[in-house]
Amino acid sequence: MIRNCTAGRILTSMERSMTGNTAETFSVQTQEPPGRTDAMRPKPDHGETTYKGSGRLNGKKALITGGDSGIGRAVAIAFAREGADVAIAYYNEHDDAQETASWVEQAGRKAILLSGDVADRQHCLMLIQRTVDEFGGIDILVNNAAHQKSIEKLDDIDEAEWDTTFRTNIYSMFFLSQAAVPHMKQGASIINTTSINADSPSAHLLAYATTKGAIANFTAGLGELLAPQGIRVNAVAPGPIWTPLIPSTMPPEAVRTFGQNTPMGRAGQPAEVAPPYVLLASDEASYITAAIIPVTGGRPML
């Protein structure tokens, strides 16, 4: 952290971004996929020291895929501080997952860690069953896990890459939602992570952007389908957010200028994305379903 001389206090990375402080910028950096939080410079802000809960999710039971880092970690911290127990599903980033679980437990809530590949249907079924068995039910499903690869030409995507992207990003949402709904009661919430790419696709993220468009349509259709049961289905559409996915899947120059194409001129922090998930998970969103909330730094989704 750096000191803001005018205010005379230490600012978090999120506060620096919000006040336009550019002293801390993204350095050229690369990682092997899926990336690790500790290797990122600067470190993302997940709300560890800033998010304050107010009991909006007291007693609720949540499963978050991709919950080990990035947006998933920020949502897990926020949910826990709002009173929810959290099942953290992740691929193989055990160190990141343990860190997220520790924040949930520090909030006085129960955390369970569930490692594996959401591209596999049987694993998705296990995730729901373990959550139900450990917590006694499931009230909130956050479908957040994602895979992306940056390309230069169409031939950079082979069949295996296309399949991996679709199975991870959209098939998993179908598998998990189908398994979760029988355990959900009226007032339950499914929240999907789509993207600005659903509305303004990046050619260099062709497979990823295509799945994000599919997620937007899946959200709208499933929201209408489940409305009579009192189960709400919504999505959050982030713009450029500083997560391990960025240095581990994007070219170095794209990392250096990441987020500068937004009207706000910067990337967002995971902590800035978590509040819409809290709203959509809470009873305050009782009349919101089949909706998408953009968190894009000013890039419109119309």
Catalytic residue ranges: 208
Q: How far apart are CA 31 and CA 122, in angstroms?
A: 29
C-alpha dihedral, 159 to 194 to 177 to 128, nearest 10°:
90
Q: Measure Cα distances from 140 to 88, 235, 258, 280 in Å.
A: 12, 13, 31, 9
Report the interhelical angle of 159-166 vs 206-226 (nearest 10°).
30
Long-range contacts at 9-14 (CB < 8 A, ≥ 24 apart): 12/45, 12/49, 12/50, 13/42, 13/43, 13/44, 13/45, 13/269, 14/45, 14/47, 14/50, 14/269, 14/271, 14/272
* Amino acid occupying residue 217: N
